[in-house]
Amino acid sequence: MGISKRLETEKAWYVLHTYSGYEDKIKKNLESRMTSMGMEDNIFEILVPQHAVYEEDKEGDLVEAQKKIFPGYVLVEMIMSDEAWFVVRNTPGVTGFVGSHGAGSKPSPLLPEEIERIFKSMGMKPRKIDIDVEVGETIRIISGAFAGMEATVAAVDEDRGLIDATVEMFGRETNAELEFSQIATLEH
């Protein structure tokens, strides 16, 4: 199994286009369908990106309210299987996936740096990514300046979520510090 096939079976974040104003209802519908159709192993989390704002109420007091960052959009973390795609796509209120080219084509997931930016804008801490790599193992770099290249793991810092690796460029080894979100393991 090659790297591209393996990435298709990994969980990733996707963006759903929905009717504006119904994002929370669609989230509840999708959570309900996920449970009733036994998709808990393919659909993991549904998120309506919001952040806190302060507004004046009728008495003139400042109160905290939640404002949607992307009205008309819902994020879903899932493995893009045919069954999960069908369940999500056919949830009432979902008009489609962002990044899909129509005619039943599968959408492109958000890049790790895109989802991290969204989490930060919501005041959430970046998610810890668990990855099982060992010193000496060959990995594929999937984002950043070295995207598309293979590298050899030199050191793993679990606490900081970083990997020191060497990349061969122009006939020389170059050191690279990579975040866990920037790599994928190769299957043998």
114 within domain boundaries? yes
Q: Do 97 and 168 sit in the same domain of this protein? A: no
Cα separations (Å) of 150 from 147, 168, 183?
9, 8, 9
22-26, 57-61, 86-90, 101-105: range with lowest mean pLDDT: 101-105
175 within domain boundaries? yes
**What is the pLDDT at residue 5?**
40
Our CA dihedral for 80, 81, 84, 90, rounded to 10 degrees, sits at 90
Residue 103 pLDDT exceeds 50 = yes
162 within domain boundaries? yes
Q: Do 43 and 87 sit in the same domain of this protein? A: yes
Report how far residue 167's alpha carbon sits from residue 172's, in angstroms, rounded to the nearest whole number. Answer: 8
126 within domain boundaries? no
The percentage of residues in the chain with a pLDDT greater than 90, rounded to a whole number, is 27
Domain boundary, last residue among 121, 149, 164: 121
**Total number of domains constituting the chain:** 2
Q: What are 133-164's pLDDT values in tens digits? A: 889 999 988 877 788 889 999 998 877 778 89
164 within domain boundaries? yes
